[in-house]
Chain A
């Protein structure tokens, strides 16, 4: 099969390329690059004004299979990823059973190959501890050998300092990061909202910013001491960003990611007690958003990851304090990033592509993607000028728990190519 992508703006930070050109794709491989390419018999797709980027990787999703297939399956999650412009995801291990055994990794890998003929690469993240209980190390070497790209107990922190130390030491032998859901459970116990004016007014139990910050600071010291590779999931506070910045300046092996809702919404969104504004870490304040944007700009924050957390309608249709944490994110990520970061001049287009593709792959030691002749086509194509309105009912995800319904966004995925497969958004 031949595909001629015409006049797209190719933005490839790895090769340093940023120019309008054509790409001829033959059997999933980039055959030729250049201007004004002709390929009789190839299907031509006009991409003027669209960005052609190395495939986006969301390093933080919850695909719920095995165990919670009524929220999301690997197949529906992959469909959501493709619709949102991602060619790869890393799925978190809080499944049932959790990913603390290599058999679960193989199960996920086989399900991912069936979904969309393998269009979306699904990289499992192994649990740090057995059952994610924070007591005994999971078989990290076996998990790594089977294909785990990182370790995390996400949803829960690795709270025990000694266990976290051992996890960093052990995982370092396999060059895998430990991804921490940084939350001191003693400080956040029972909490559902950021501690501040809004929680005071709404009378909601609190998750103080401290809960995240004290654990990030502790972990940085553990990473420095052990030399283990440490990655902070979903940073949400100004002080956490500052701690990572200072650690990087010292040369500590630390990286971090931010979720789009944490650079878009504040805890003001909780007024009205909409359970789709309940996530963990909670929505913070305007000052935190400013600090996160500065962290993205200066490179302190390496990656944008959605923390895609599907829940069924009924699970969210309850009292705020009772509802589960989390929102779906794959299909609004590009829109929010373009609207909040690109259009507001926080990031350049190249930086945006780095946060979505280049940096997460580096953190996880995955092969880099190059947009050049001879390389496999692993591409995300998006329209940075497309205006659209978010309709959760139209999501490809099995769940609709998004706080962004009705939001007018700019920037939307057009299509993805990977592993010889392609998926195009139906123009609306």
Chain B
């Protein structure tokens, strides 16, 4: 049973069976990663280009490792800033790379919809590694994989995403994916960080973290983007930490076991306290490992869709 699409642009609209297939396939690759020899041959002879128009060491390394573990040839392309500031259009850049006979392109780009556009202008399979504030599907898939691994299901679990929902591609992809998989999803953050009409996506909105934690099974803590023009969204990091930071005290008050996820890199003692990040309920490091398995699964499944 193959995937319905030959690209992975996002989880919005992706059928449940496709998400299920990716998660199940990732289980096998996760096992591969525990073997002494971690390399398998499915992408032998295939070339994957990683086009990163935004800095993201972690996601790029994770994709690269996944590609090499599958025996693909890997082409790296890093350009900070937008295509426009480089003086070359995305179309020209992409076509140049494709001219080198690339089979798959993984792209990170600052503009929402950039990967959808890319998929219209090139022949290769396109994998979205983050497009603006739109989607980051492999991150959400690895989050779901990790939750499922820890709590053995997604159906009817309550997952709360905390942080700047409005500007987060991680939040959007998680909302789309988790809703499709039957989870209860809530978002929590100051009103300035909650996008308009988000409840129409079927999520509950909370502004006070202590109101939601007592019913939550897993909390996905978003990184507060210090670099963004954030002073208009919240007054200070101290205030954010005091009112939204995930701390041990807060978790104890909630009175239940809550699995802690974070897409990384974490700002210790801002959105999450150090002791929580390092606690036994934190699955932050598992997420990193599972990320490789998820990306292997996605690359593998799409490579058979040419």
Contacts and interface: CB of A to CB of B under 8 A. Distances in A.
Nearest to B198: A200
A318 B90 CA distance: 7
Given A199-B195, A273-B117, A204 B112 contact: yes
A424 interface: no
Contacts of B131: 203
When A and B form their complex, which 6 residue pairs have the shortest distance between CB atoms, in order from nearest? A203-B134, A273-B113, A203-B133, A197-B197, A319-B111, A321-B111
B113 A199 contact: no
A359 to B, nearest CB: 34
Contact of A318 (B89, B110, B112, B116): B89
B138 to A, nearest CB: 16
B198 A203 contact: no
Contact of A317 (B84, B91, B113): B91
A319 B197 contact: no
Given A201-B201, A273-B112, A319 B196 contact: no
A195 interface: yes
Interface of B: 12, 82-84, 89-91, 109-114, 116-117, 131-135, 166, 169, 172, 195-198, 200-201
Contact of A196 (B12, B90, B114, B197): B197
Contacts of A41: none
Contacts of B169: 203
A108 to B, nearest CB: 31
B132 A197 contact: no
Given A200-B201, A203-B132, A319 B114 contact: yes
A320 interface: yes
A105 B200 CA distance: 50
Contacts of B166: 200
Contacts of B117: 273, 318-320
B291 to A, nearest CB: 21
Contacts of B198: 200
Given A272-B116, A318-B89, A319-B83, 15 more contacts: A197-B196, A199-B195, A201-B12, A203-B133, A203-B172, A204-B113, A204-B134, A273-B117, A318-B117, A319-B113, A319-B117, A320-B113, A320-B117, A321-B132, A322-B84
Contacts of A202: 112-113, 134
Contact of B89 (A195, A197, A272, A317): A317
A205 interface: yes
B187 to A, nearest CB: 11
Interface in A312-343: 314, 317-322
Best-surrounded residue of A197, A317, A319 (most CB of chain B within 10 A):
A319
Interface in A246-265: none
11 contacts: A196-B197, A200-B195, A202-B112, A202-B113, A203-B132, A203-B135, A205-B112, A273-B113, A319-B111, A320-B114, A321-B114
Contacts of B134: 202-204
Contacts of A314: 89
B90 A321 contact: no
B83 A322 contact: yes
Contacts of B111: 319-322
A272 B116 CA distance: 7
Contacts of A201: 12, 172, 201
A200 B199 CA distance: 10
A222 B169 CA distance: 42
Most buried by A among B112, B134, B172: B112
Nearest to A195: B196
Contact of A200 (B83, B109, B113, B197): B197
Nearest to A314: B89
B197 A318 contact: no
Nearest to A204: B112
A203 B109 CA distance: 13
Interface string A187-231: 000000001110111111110100000000000000000000000
A34 B257 CA distance: 89
Nearest to A275: B117
A321 B112 contact: yes
A325 B82 CA distance: 18
A202 B175 CA distance: 13
Residue of A199, A206, A272, A318 with most partner-chain B CB within 10 A = A318
Nearest to A186: B232
Contacts of A318: 83-84, 89-91, 117
Contacts of A322: 82-84, 90, 111
A205 B229 CA distance: 14
B196 A203 contact: no
A272 B12 CA distance: 12
B174 to A, nearest CB: 13
Nearest to B90: A319
A196 B197 CA distance: 6
